[in-house]
Structure 1
């Protein structure tokens, strides 16, 4: 009985220790078996061909639709005369779709009298590089004498451009509207801060940590200042998000590894891509570089976050107008598969500089618009998604540690139970022996 009990206890402890060992192995992210895929989420909606019967978008709600080549989808947007509004649209062509250089979507926000309040367009800018594309258009409350400042019925238009040789299948579409409350009466936003002119330098100090980029904004991996590693398959786009508070400035270097299993010399013109979006999903800036199997590096440095940036003439400054999560989209062109077998290792060097400052005094809560930061959420950014789920997201190191500790605790409880059982059984045997004598 004694040997049986200790053998069982040893087995339990061995099993309990396994998750603990797994939790300690956080030196590299798992190699993805299949590309992560953005599946548009939210309430189903059907945009119309005219503004007369366009379905209304509710603030803070995400919608899913689809759009065919050459089609224009219209949605109704009711706005007051106080809130700034941001309407985003993202198209998600299926992986492997045939797309041409000028294929993409064009977005426009118009007033009831047809005045164009804002417009934006995103195209692939390369043949064959099917990936999620989109941006947001804005109605910003600035001056009562400017256009589109009144309370009225507005229309969001989304148009798909497509070459005759491209795949004619509908693209899934994700649409979202958010409202930014006005400043409180008497609040002064301050001047546009000066953007440092020195060239950014990459962060090199610190131990690299694994990240697991998500397939969309909802499943983006939360990362903060530090060095993060991941793997991106050819034809895949992975999303990450960085917490940037008022007064802070974010710098991101994306290093793409040399080909692990190089198959000979080749060159993909826009083989690597780094794109930055604002908390309201508005395109801020993007860079790309060719890939020939040698290492490649891309860098984006945002302007310091300030409410007054919205008055800047520079679009890349104007869109960094509020604190919140700024999104990074990292893309590897499908043709990189000619040089790389499997996923391409990447390193993100993220640095958020400057002390966080007090934000402007809003008349309402801007959190529903994705504006502002929870300090706890920012400090907890550990390379995994903070909302939604990702098809290939790995468990966070903290979750693994918790699982390991839980298993060890369960094993300890079972061992103590076995020990108590053994003591009781032993006492009962002794009493039986005394009674028999």
Structure 2
């Protein structure tokens, strides 16, 4: 009976140790993904009584296929405001080309202040999807949405009917840009995106980066060469500090497949997407992946206050100094071509000398606008922590490893104890 008891206990401890090791290694299961955080805010079904959002506060909700959610936001007549919304489908969720999120910011009379959309533009590539819309103070009395009033954010989830039927988590956030100081003349000259094809940074010692799973946990990187590994079916976020007058260029080089199916071909297999400091989609691109090296690049316009007047949306979005975000996505189908995470090299270059920013009548840094010397110095490739972010995951790994070590030690003690007991029993006979 005693031997049977020891064997059962040992088996249970072995199982616990193996489970702890699996949790620490992240296998089996999907790669780490964005976990929307913030205050729960249930969007309304109509504009009659939408719940109120406050600037600088992160909110979370859910949204079903074909559903439209409404949120209220009070705006004054001086502050420009941007509001972002991102849906986060679970790993492996069914998505179609035109599925995605469509945003509108509307005035009290139903006039559209701004509208934007983000669609998957691919079948089967479930990833965080979203953008931002803005109410900009132009100073022109004839422009719409310039008055102090109650405004409404409309978030609609498009679906072709065959996509994932479940409600998706939704994360929302608003950003308030202070008005210019009285008597300050704003530059009206927008910048342009470089006419020549961008060239990648090829000099420098590569550094290790650990991309985050969301904007809040994005790895901060600066000019240099950074290496990471992105699992199939995952999106990793990186952020670059870019000051007024500077221009950022990012190349993402995806490695050849060391193992896997050499004949595999995945359309839209890899993707690079750029976002502004207010989480507005700036631009993005994708390429097929067939086990051979491929590269994607994004060169943004020079950061200038006057970019807000540009007709090119890719330039108009680059109107703030601050953290610019770059998301790297590897399609789930790439798992057919690669055994394990896909090696990725980011070549980041911030060109140009920093210039004085506009004279704001308020704290622009508190609103997430602008960068400082500390931001530059701290961009070391490490993922940030935010609630259940990278720090929480690291803590869980530490606990799992500790549990594995403790379980192994207990198994050794129990094995010795059981052997001694058997010997004593034999000697007594």
Match of 1:175 among 165, 172, 179: 172
CA positional deviation for 1:262: 3.1
Match of 2:50 among 47, 51, 54: 54
CA positional deviation for 1:32: 7.2
Query: In 1, distance between residues paired with 2:190 and 2:104?
Result: 27
- SS of the residue corresponding to residue 53 of structure 2 reads coil
Write the mapping of 1:37-436 to structure 2, written as runs, cut at 5 A. 37-142=33-138, 143-190=140-187, 191-388=189-386, 391=389
Conservation of the 8 A alpha-carbon contact between 2:192 and 2:315: no
CA deviation string 1:126-172 (max 9, x = no partner): 11010000000000111222011111111000011112221211100
* TM-score, structure 2 normalization: 0.83
CA deviation string 1:237-295 (max 9, x = no partner): 00000000000000000000001203121211100100000000000000111101100
CA deviation string 1:3-29 (max 9, x = no partner): xxxxxxxxxxxxxxxxxxxxxxxxxxx
- SS of the residue corresponding to residue 185 of structure 1 reads coil
CA positional deviation for 1:351: 0.1
* TM-score, structure 1 normalization: 0.81
Query: In 1, distance between residues paired with 2:63 and 2:393?
Result: 35
List alignment gaps of at least 5 residues for structure 1.
1-29, 397-437
CA positional deviation for 1:385: 2.6
CA deviation string 1:89-138 (max 9, x = no partner): 00000000011111111111100000011111111111101000000000
Query: In 2, distance between residues paired with 1:395 and 1:93?
Result: 20
List alignment gaps of at least 5 residues for structure 2.
1-23, 395-429
Conservation of the 8 A alpha-carbon contact between 1:109 and 1:137: yes
Conservation of the 8 A alpha-carbon contact between 1:212 and 1:392: no
Conservation of the 8 A alpha-carbon contact between 2:193 and 2:299: no
CA positional deviation for 1:387: 4.6
Aligned to 2:406: none
Larger Cα-atom Rg: 1
Q: How many residues align?
A: 367
Query: In 2, distance between residues paired with 1:146 and 1:72?
Result: 27
Query: In 2, distance between residues paired with 1:358 and 1:55?
Result: 38
Query: In 2, distance between residues paired with 1:113 and 1:359?
Result: 35
